[in-house]
Amino acid sequence: MNFLLKKEARILGLSFTTRRNAGTFVVGTIFRGKSWLDGIATCTLNDERRRELLRLSRQIMKSKQYSQLHAVIISKNQKYFRARDITELARRLKLPVILLLRGRSRKIRGGMKGVKQYALNVNDKRFEVCAMGMSRGKTRELLSVGCAPNSHVPEAVRVADLITKQVTLKWNSLGLR
């Protein structure tokens, strides 16, 4: 059976910024489609990757909106996630996870089981993603629901990126970078 997503499908957008000796600061914004900001979540991760993915997944599951989330979309402006991490996060959350890739990326290495790489057109803009737990058609549909008419970045991710940029600017102005 093939269901269409509602235009208010809840999407979690994640963005990351790193501070020396203080770990990685994660901002998550939950949007209903491209229209309504439903919630914001933050956490700080340290270096031990496996334990930190568990911590991140627990933070997401504590959210009031967790049971209504359709997918997690991770910003292309981060360096924290790899294909293996997408698989692990999707498994822990029991949700599809999509990683936006920068420009025209190389093929993902290692052929992680279940992680697919797609080149998609959304709002007449071409970009690439790695997706775990979603077909090409469903990924495109979800991104179309989450993107403003003139953008190919889902609003949840765009707003999470704006917040992390402001946090980074504040850290830099205080000499905390």
* E strand segments, 20-145: 23-32, 36-45, 69-74, 97-100, 115-122, 125-132
Q: How confident is the model over 46-99, as pLDDT tens digits? A: 766 668 888 899 999 998 999 999 999 999 866 667 777 888 899 999 999 999
Under CATH, which architecture does the 10-170 domain have? 2-Layer Sandwich (3.30)
**141: pLDDT strictly greater than 80:** yes
Residue 54 near residue 46, CB atoms below 8 Å = no
Please, which residues have CB within 8 angstroms of residue 44's CB and are 6 or more apart in sequence?
22, 23, 24, 25, 26
Contact 33, 68 (CB under 8 A): no
Lowest-confidence segment of 35-49, 76-90, 140-154 by average pLDDT? 76-90
Element (H, E) at 170: helix 155-173
Whether 16 has a pLDDT exceeding 80, the answer reads yes
Would you say residue 19 has pLDDT above 80?
Answer: no
pTM: 0.88
